Amino acid sequence: MKILKSSQIREVDEFTIKNEPIISVDLMERAARTISNWIAEKISKEKGVKIFVGPGNNGGDGLAIARQLIDDKYKVEVFILNISGNLSKDCQINLDRLKAQMQNCIHEINKKSDFPEINKNDIIIDGLFGSGLTRPLDGLIKNLVQHLNNSDAEIIAIDIPSGLFGENNLQNDLEAIIKAKYTLTFQLPNLSFFLPENEIFVGIWKILPIGLNNDFINSLDSDFYMVDSDYIKSKILKRTKFSHKGNYGHVLMIAGSYGKMGAAILASKACLRTGSGLVTVHVPRIGYEIMQTAIPEAMISIDQSDIIFTNIPDAESYTSVGVGPGIGTKQNTKKALANLIAEVSTPIVFDADALNIISEQNELLKNIPENSILTPHPKEFVRLAGEVSNDYEKIHTQINFSVTYKVIVVLKGANTSITCPDGACYFNSTGNPGMATAGSGDVLTGIILSLLGQGYKPKDAAITGVYLHGLAGDIASEKIGQEALIASDIIENLGYAYLRIKENKI
């Protein structure tokens, strides 16, 4: 799914109105109904609903929702902030319709003394300003936003929290943005929804389809995408009846050191669960019996060192190579990693300590094979690419890093971002906070390595691997909750993740 700029989303609205054909006020009515239906499913009619609307089309959405909720027997009050005295055409139409339906539910806000008292059990619907906002809110409007945020009532934002810009909020006034519990957006998400710094404003966001023209959406240029189940289902490779283990890759995972053999176990077991035909794990001598006991399905390559990774096996016989989980950063390990990078010409999956070594020896970056996959967590990424001041800058730094070094970067976290050498950025849509647990990253490395070894293109291996990882974590969370989830649970639910994708049960 494309992530478009706010200006492009307006173009989509205009094109849909012109070509469906549908008049704009009817498209507004359709959009409002999707939100009213969502509210009817989630919100008790015992709660008071206070709807705050501005002078533009976001306000028109709020007024249409007010009419529909009144019809649905909700207790609704509407508060209009109209300092300029001019409403948009569709906002005025919906105000006239609401007046004809229930005049006494409408109140005007012209000064601070007009701000209503809000009970913490009320539901606030924010329809003040939409994604077309181009400057920070100030004055009476800012005061109102702060009044709503301080009420402790649950806030539902229409389309986008008022005051939040759709893309770059570097110059915004963060004290003048609605803090929503839910954001109900129409058809397409905004880039700002994916940036961690905006979670306090966006809350939990949901995409509600309203029938915008998909052909026109597909014709628009964007470097940003959200990965959904349809995309992933189209990428999953099918197995043939007469295939054998040799058809599904022989991967080499270089992992583990004294005291960190668990990382090697998790990464290699994830390889097997993701579908690798053959998995060889290169470990120090101390890990031999551990690996043979823990994972009888894996083959073992033994390092000449008892406790760390110091030498590379012949990598030519493997379909893909991964390195990093638990290997440490000793001097001999650094030399071995440099040798690996020099000798392997096909894409490599780099994680954990391999990334930490590269961040200390930046000259290695220019030798990394093109389309290699780097899987840093945020602190590892900072060590690789340098400090950034905010998440908007970070995502563009990540893109520039991928373009400069011709690598794929998987920056782990909520809505994990995957950036590619062509400048494209993909945000994942699976996963949950329960996956913030030791070993989760090792599992992801194993999953991506397995897909790469099975013949997936590097970009598809990264994107599909991140999605599978998150989905398996979601399934595990459904069974045992987020707090109890450990990395092994992700591995054990990879099969169920595949099944859900194939059966369209996402």
Domains present along the chain, CATH in parentheses: 6-222 (3.40.50.10260), 230-239+317-502 (3.40.1190.20)
- pLDDT (0 to 100) of residue 506: 66
Q: What per-residue confidence (pLDDT) applies to 226?
A: 98
Which residue is it, tokens 């699976």? 430
* % of the chain residues with pLDDT over 70: 100
- Average pLDDT on 306-323 reads 95
If pLDDT is split at 50, 70 and 90, which confidence band does 132 have?
Answer: confident
- CA separation for the pair 473, 486 (Å, rounded): 9
pLDDT in the model for residue 414:
94
Give me Rg for the CA atoms of the chain.
Answer: 26
Please write the tens of the pLDDT for every residue from 192-237: 999 999 999 999 999 999 999 999 999 999 999 999 999 999 999 9
**Does the pLDDT value for residue 40 go beyond 70?**
yes
Q: What integer best gives the mean pLDDT of the chain? A: 96
CA–CA gap between residue 63 and residue 305 (Å, rounded): 71
Which whole-number Å values give the CA distances from 361 to 337, 342, 380, 421, in the listed order? 11, 14, 14, 21
- pLDDT of the residue at 13: 94
Decide if pLDDT at 454 tops 90: yes
Q: Among residues of the chain, what percentage have pLDDT more than 90?
A: 96
Mean pLDDT to the nearest integer, 401-406: 98
* pLDDT tens for each residue of 411-444: 999 999 999 999 999 999 999 999 999 999 999 9
So what's the pLDDT on residue 319? 97
For CA atoms 426, 430, 432, 437, the dihedral sign is negative
- 128 Cα distance to chain centroid: 26
Cα gap 370→253, rounded to integer Å: 19
Q: Examine the pLDDT at 35 and tell me if it is beyond 70.
A: yes
What pLDDT score does 83 carry?
78
**Hey, which bits of 198-298 come out as E strands?**
204-208, 224-226, 250-254, 278-283
pLDDT in the model for residue 82:
82
Burial environment of residue 5 by CB neighbours within 10 A (0 to 12, 13 to 18, 19 or more): middle
